[in-house]
Structure 1
Amino acid sequence: MKKKTVLILIVFLLFVIGCATTQQQLLDSDSSQVQLRSIQTRAFTTTDKEKTLRTIIATLQDLGFVIDKADAILGTVSATKLKNYALRITVTVRPRGETQLLVRANVQYNVEPVTDPEPYQQFFIALEKAMFLTAHQVD
């Protein structure tokens, strides 16, 4: 009888310890998610969502991506780059106030989310140049 009680107590303690660890990990991930979101997001001073989506598509193609899906109503573009790896990007566009659009990119390498700022910076640098050229009607 004592062995059964001790076994139940051990299982209960393991359960409680496991829950505490999971809760701490959830709390830790909140701050990293905020940092990741700041890396993934840029604001552009324009209200032309359709032109912005077309510029995003052109930028992704210039970077070697193949467009998988684009939805102007939802404001999303999904693309894949297959070159010795599977890099997938989803870009969303939504209004921010009355004069800006918020562009957010989400990159995955194979099936893992990319948290390194470098691919996001490369995408946004290329997009900023393309947005400038589009705004000034340079081909």
Structure 2
Amino acid sequence: MKGIKYFGVAGVLLLIASLMGCATQQPIPEKTQLQIREFQTRTYDTNDYKMVMKAVLNTLQDDGYIIQQANVDLGLLTAKKEIDTTDKVMAGLSALSAALGGHGNDAR
């Protein structure tokens, strides 16, 4: 009788544990534009604007950006980054064509 009682208790605990695993997660609330901007803003404990601008400029260049304009007096940097995606797309299409039994770029 004791064995059946323990199996009953173990079964109830197993049922409770399995139901707890099925609990749904609460959706993450979307951030407002102000909250996003707050995450993106940095504050530096210095009055040396040239040093900060140089650090930002070096960071942008390290990340592959091309600096177009830099105005230290205004605290303005303009940069761009060009990414060539055509080679990756064409390689993917060629691989897909070969996988499907095609002949690549043959025009027939």
TM-score w.r.t. structure 2 length? 0.47
Q: Which has the larger radius of gyration?
A: 2
Give the structure with the higher percent strand. 1
TM-score w.r.t. structure 1 length? 0.37
